[in-house]
Amino acid sequence: MHSRPYEKLLNGLVIGDRLHMRQTAEGRVIAGSDFGGADPGMDAAATARDLFAAMKAMLRGADGLELDFHTIGYRPTPVDGFPIIGRAEGTGGVYVTVMHSGITLAPAVGLFAAREILDGERDPLLDPYGLARFTQ
């Protein structure tokens, strides 16, 4: 869920028992309940309102904070739980990088992908993570 812009309440990512949250530069507090993209239930708006209430209860100085809108996202987690990194063989010009831990792996994966795309050099560390493993 996303709040309306508000005064600064958070200095970084907060991970709690029921939710995680952060505040954008424009002041929106964004909260989610599940890193895996769990089903929001039959009434996603009600789920968002419940999450907003829980988030608001966790923050000091959030009395005037208002819910603006909610989004539903499903994290791209490959079926085997491991990243997919490499060319989509048989489909020219397509290079895939899909993983749950994209933020923490981005610097290394970006470097490996750039080398492979620009120079054709695939790092041996990437061998287990090719897309072709799903066609075998």
pLDDT in tens, 1-37: 899 999 999 998 888 777 889 999 999 999 987 655 5
Q: Which of 26-40, 72-86, 96-110 has the lowest mean pLDDT?
A: 26-40
Query: Could you tell me if 5 and 28 are in contact, meaning their C-beta atoms sit under 8 angstroms apart?
Result: yes
- 3 state SS of 87: strand
The domain ranges of the chain are 2-69, 84-134
Average pLDDT over residues 101-126: 91
Residue type, 2: H
pLDDT given at position 30: 92
Q: What is the mean pLDDT of residues 82-111?
A: 88
Tokens for 39, please give them.
């089903």
Q: State the average pLDDT over residues 107-117.
A: 95
